Structure 1
Amino acid sequence: MEKFWTALWQHHSGKLLGGGLGCLIGVFVILFGFFNTLFVMTCTILGYVVGKRIDERETIVEIIEKLLPPGYRR
């Protein structure tokens, strides 16, 4: 039985994750509303991006400078 789950994950991991994430987002929209769900998703994505950049040893100032348009940079 373990081989079945391993093979299923190896060949269909994207479909499984996408389906699960879509189902979870659908439940959140039903429970909390569209805009509240959108706000939480936006905060989650921003947190991920900032955390990833920090893991790559970038400072907060460097991250903000990359996000701002060129005219706002020092």
Structure 2
Amino acid sequence: MAAFWQLVLENRGKALGIAGGLLFGLLFLTVGFFKTIAFSVFVATGYYIGRKFDNEEDIGEVLDRILPGKFTKR
């Protein structure tokens, strides 16, 4: 079992790609194409906002660029 985890850690990108492909394949088979696409959009949006938090960027500025004037008062 230790050899398996060592292989996964040495090939992290490939392992994540396989896991992601497996997840989206299962979602496609169980809930359908359009719900899988909607799920993907939500995951990508969450990743984008989380990356902004990690980089300590102002979320208000990001949202103001996407939807000007909706989130900040001027």
Instruction: State TM-score, norm by structure 2.
Output: 0.71
Q: How much has 1:24 moved relative to structure 2?
A: 1.1
Q: Give 1:44's aligned residue.
A: 43
User: Deviation per CA, 1:12-56, whole angstroms, max 9, x where unpaired?
Assistant: 222221112101101101111111011011011101211221232
RMSD: 2.4
SS for the counterpart of 2:11 is helix
| Identical counterparts, % of pairs | 31
Q: Give 2:8's aligned residue.
A: 9
Q: Give 1:21's aligned residue.
A: 20
Instruction: State TM-score, norm by structure 1.
Output: 0.71
Unaligned stretches of 5+ residues in structure 1: none
C-alpha spacing 1:54/1:14, structure 2 compared with 1 (3 Å):
closer
Unaligned stretches of 5+ residues in structure 2: none
Q: Which has the higher helix share?
A: 1
The amino acid across from 2:57 in the alignment is E
Q: Give 1:60's aligned residue.
A: 59
